[in-house]
Every structure is written in C-alpha cells, then in structure tokens.
Amino acid sequence: MSEIFKEIPKIKYEGANSVNALSFKFYEPEKEVLGKPMKEHLRFAMAWWHNMCAGGADMFGTFTADKSFGAELNTMEHAYKKVDAAFEFMNKLSIDYFCFHDVDLIPEADDINITNARLDEISDYIKAKMLQYDKKLLWGTANLFSSPIYMNGAGSSNSAEVFCFAAAQIKKALDITVKLGGKGYVFWGGREGYDTLLNTDMKFELDNIARLMRMAVDYGRSIGFDGDFYIEPKPKEPTKHQYDYDAATAIGFLRQYGLDKDFKINVEANHATLAGHTFRHELRVAAINNMLGSIDANQGDLLLGWDTDEFPYDVYETTMCMYEVLKAGGLKNGGLNFDAKNRRPSNTYEDMFYAFILGMDAYALGLINAAKIIEDGRIEDFIDKRYKSYNEGIGSKITAGETSLEELFEIACKKGAPQPPMSGRQEQLLSIINQLLFS
Ligand code: XUL
Ligand code: CO
C-alpha cells in the first residue's frame, strides 16, 4: 500500500524549544502526569467526518481541500482510501482512537440494504487496520440529520416512517460499533428540535426521542455493548431550539425517561459556549451528576457565534477542561475527540497535521497546568475554607439534615443578622492560576 501523506514523517516530541513545525512541543505520550501517562489521560481521537471527509465547503463556496486521496469521490474505492488515509494519519500522529458516523465511512446508497452491505465490507477492512496499527474506536454514531428525510428530525420527526428508518440506521451503527469494539455510542440530535411551536407537539416529540433511545439501549445491551451511550448537548444550529440544549437539560431528560443509568454526556466545547456557558461549566454539571462521559475537544469563536469547530489552541480553556477531568477522576470509556476542522484556507495535507499538533499540544499543556493547580492545592484549599462554616455548629446540622426550618428560625431570631460572608477573592485566585501557568 502506497503512502498517502508522503511528505509527512512520524510526528515526534521534540520539546518546547524545537522550531520543527512537524513536531510536538508538549505532547509526550508516555510521560507520566500525576502517575499516569499523558496518552491515557487524554485518549485523543480523530473525527472521521472532519478529517477524512470535509473539504472546507461552506454556505458560500465549495471544497478547498482535496480529500479524494486519489480516488473518485463517493465510490467504495474512495471509502477504502479514506481508511488507508485515516490509519496512516493516526499512526503518524500517535492518535489512539477514532470516531465515525455511519455515512462518513461509505457512500450512502438509495437502497438501505446496499448501504448496510457497504458498511459490513468497510468495517471488515477497518477492523483489520485496527489490529495492524493498534488503534481503537472511541465511539460510533449514525448521521440522522443530513438526509432530507430528517428535515423534521429523527426521533422527533412527525413521520413514523422516518422514525422507523432512523431506528434502522441506529441498529446498524450499533452493530458496527460493537463489531469494532467501541465503548461509546453518541446521540447528537442534529435536528431533534423545532423552529416554531405553531407546528410542533413538544411533549410528543420528547417522548418519541426517549422511545428511540430506549430501543437503542435495549438492542445495544442485547448484542453485548457494555460501553456508554452519550447525549451530546447543543443549544441551537441547525434548529432554533434543540431539545438537548445543554448538559443540565439533557440530564433532566435522561432522568425523566429513566435513561440515566445507560447514558452519560459528551460535552463539546463549542456547544457549551453556544449555550452561553463556559466549557468548564458544562463539564462540571456533567461531572457532579456522575455523567461526564466524553469530550468533543474543539473551540468556537465568540465573535462569530456559530459552531465553527476550530482546533483548540486556547491553553487557558484546555487547562480548565483538564482540571475538571482530573477532579472528576478521568474519563473512563470516553476521550478527547477532535470534533474540529481546519479553517477553509488551510487546505493542504500538511495543514491537517498542523491542526492536530496544535490541538494535541494545547491539551498536553492543559493537562500539565491542571496537574500543577491540583498539586499546588491553593485553589482547592480556598474552596474548602469558603464553605467551612458547614463543618461545625449549625452548619453541620444543616448538611446532616438534622435541623428544621423552625429551629433555624429560632437561632436566627436569637442571634440576629449574620456578618456578610468572607470575600470571594476572585482576583487573587485568578492571579494564582496565572502564576502557575507561567512560572
Ligand atoms: C455537530 C457535532 C457532531 C457530533 C456527532 O455540531 O458536534 O459532529 O459530534 O454527530
Ligand atoms: Co461534536
């Protein structure tokens, strides 16, 4: 098999002072941080759709990057070439995992039986490559948003026939996920939302989405899928109101429908900021509910305000992300999937490598910094101090559930108004973070 990225060598760690653009400056896969190799903390994944498929098309123009890999687009030959390219790419960048949608892998046929036969064929080839290169599947999913049949959603569609077709796609995507040993299955409800309530039965649509997810769980477990199902929240785009607005909304939905034991949250950085939250906030909400499953590691642009899916470079953000991940005890079945694409004018093969070097180094730095914050301990100590009134006296009775509104009434009336609480010290804490990041 001939090399596709011929000009690109295997990317190695060369240290912070290297001027070789095709090297890692901070990512050392085997280097231990807090007792675990970087690669195990980070579990980087390549997103098939952005890397092997997307060529930079946007609303105003067509492909700028050539992702044909020498084959005619939308043929099985092309599907095979994408597999060759993907494994060479992951191998050269030391990326251990990948993620896919069903239709990223093969050209979809008019007949679902032909599509499924193509999926069987290509997944045999992928499986062999995974063994050859020692690569793993982080998660699989079905694309239930691109085809015109999904214009009103999949589980939320007004058409029972569309619901049925979506179920068939999910079944097949689960089959392939299990065949390839994947430990995750994602639901990003691309068009599970609505644009106007004038034509929408919201309660019915939510019930139906839950029905579809329940069937997916039942089927997945019946074929031996022992990983996690994920909801990937997003507040808008493509629909105006997406049902999975943010982590809190998705968790409420999962609990309401009894799906919370099988599902976790796949938090995407760019979706968090679209929801008007920080990335950190979304990670924390998932973590405190024991539902921090996996991460789509990208970055948005606050000046643009749509889902730009940029490669992450903001080290402050990656630091805060990894701080949350470390505090949550790490990602078990999940990882950091670069759901990210090159900017449209960065249109060469080389740019694909620069993008991953940028993202992987940004997260390696984030991990190193987050470990420093934890080892330093001042931030956590301050938080403990801030709540210490609950460790004694009436505070400990409140947290133990051993008091009542009447008793608190009596105490408050006897004592009178309390002193205002201690300072939040926000600026001091921010300057500790800067000190740790830059010393
Ligand atoms: C879309 C998005 C998807 C999901 C998988 O915004 O993030 O690529 O990650 O369907
Ligand atoms: Co995503």
Annotation says 101 is catalytic? yes
Ligand that lies nearest to the alpha carbon of residue 104, given by its number in the listed order:
1
Output the CA 68–ligand 2 centroid distance in Å: 23
Phi and psi at residue 415, to the nearest 5°: -80, -30
Ligand 1 atom index nearest CA of 266: 9
Ligand 1 neighbourhood includes 192 CB (under 6 angstroms): no
Strand partners of residue 32:
37
Distance CA(140)–CA(129), nearest Å, equals 17
How do residues 25-75 score in pLDDT, each as one tens digit? 999 999 999 999 999 999 999 999 999 999 999 999 999 999 999 999 999
pLDDT tens for 397-413 read 999 999 999 999 999 99
Q: Beta strand 184-187 with 97-101: parallel, antiparallel or unpaired?
A: unpaired
The two three-digit tokens of residue 184, written as one number: 């995750």
Q: Is the CB of 50 under 6 A from ligand 1?
A: no
349-376 and 76-93 helices, crossing angle to 10°: 40
Query: Peptide bond preceding 29: is omega within 30 degrees of 0, i.e. cis?
Result: no
Confidence of residue 1 (pLDDT cuts 50, 70, 90): low
Which pLDDT score is estimated for 76? 98
Could you tell me which CATH number the domain at 12-376 has?
Answer: 3.20.20.150
The sign of the CA dihedral 162, 251, 338, 235 is positive
Percent of the chain with pLDDT over 70: 100
Please choose from 48, 139, 187, 296 the residue to mutate so as to test ligand 1's pocket, defined by most ligand atoms within 8 A of CB. Answer: 296
Q: How far is CA 18 from CA 96, 305, 366, 369, in A?
A: 24, 35, 19, 20
Q: From the candidates 104, 296, 309, 361, which is the catalytic residue?
A: 104
Write the DSSP string, 80-138: HHHHHHHHHHHHHHT--EEEEEHHHHSPPPSSHHHHHHHHHHHHHHHHHHHHHHT-EEE
Supply the residue whose CA is at minimum distance from atom 5 of ligand 1: 188
pLDDT tens-place string over residues 381-439: 999 999 999 999 999 999 999 999 999 999 999 999 999 999 999 999 999 999 999 99
Question: Quick one: which ligand is closest to 190's CA?
Answer: 1
* Residue boundaries of the structural domains of the chain: 12-376, 379-438
- Across all residues in the chain, what is the average pLDDT? 98
Q: Which atom of ligand 1 is nearest to the CA of 49?
A: 8
Residue whose CA lies nearest to ligand 1 atom number 3: 188
